[in-house]
A = this chain, B = another copy of it.
Amino acid sequence: MRVLGVDPGLTRCGVGVVEGVAGRPLTMVGVGVVRTPPDAELGHRLVAVEQGIEQWLDEHRPEFVAVERVFSQHNVQTVMGTAQASAVAMLCAARRGIPVALHTPSEVKAAVTGSGRADKAQVGAMVTRLLRLSAPPKPADAADALALAICHIWRAPAQNRLQQAVALHAANATKGRTA
């Protein structure tokens, strides 16, 4: 199972691709950050996020996309940007027929650290360990994107198997290759 995790944001949108199945060691396929200039017009920033996500989808052909579920109890301005960036990520995936899953920050933290209230350093440390990296991915948005992908692989219940088979079949039919 190859999953693209997206930690949505307009200034920094974390992206990370992880491959593997629950119960087996996982592999990091790629990690990075899609950045857009804070002083650019909102419309142009959204276009830049779209182009960045499209590149990651083109290059890594994930079978699933896991996006952080946005809540609005935080800073108003940040939340709007996060919601808008997450909309673009979901749109890009859905347009290709890739199943999109949303996971809350606490679900992600609980999945990789055992605690839904773990801090960023703890998440970074566990991502580093679980993916057998030499150092924690920087910035935190990149590590969070990997954590989202790991969370999705581990949380994927048995009933996802059918959905996965359908997605794989569609990917093969469209692209003539398996990721």
Contact = CB atoms under 8 A, between A and B. Distances in A.
Q: Is the interface of A mostly helix, strand, loop or mixed?
A: helix
A21 interface: no
Question: Oligomeric state, in number of copies?
Answer: 2
Contacts of A80: 70, 72, 83
Interface stretch (A23-31, A40-48, A111-119, A141-149): A40-48
Interface of A: 41-44, 46-47, 50, 70-73, 76, 79-80, 83-88, 90-91, 93-95, 100, 102
Contact of A94 (B47, B70, B71, B73): B47
Contact of A87 (B44, B46, B71, B102): B46
A43 B90 contact: yes
Contacts of A91: 43, 46-47, 50, 88, 91
A42 B79 contact: no
Contacts of A93: 43
Nearest to A47: B94
Given A76-B72, A88-B87, A100 B47 contact: no
A85 to B, nearest CB: 8
Contacts of A90: 42-43, 46, 84
B47 A95 contact: yes
Contacts of A85: 87
Contacts of A94: 41, 43-44, 46-47
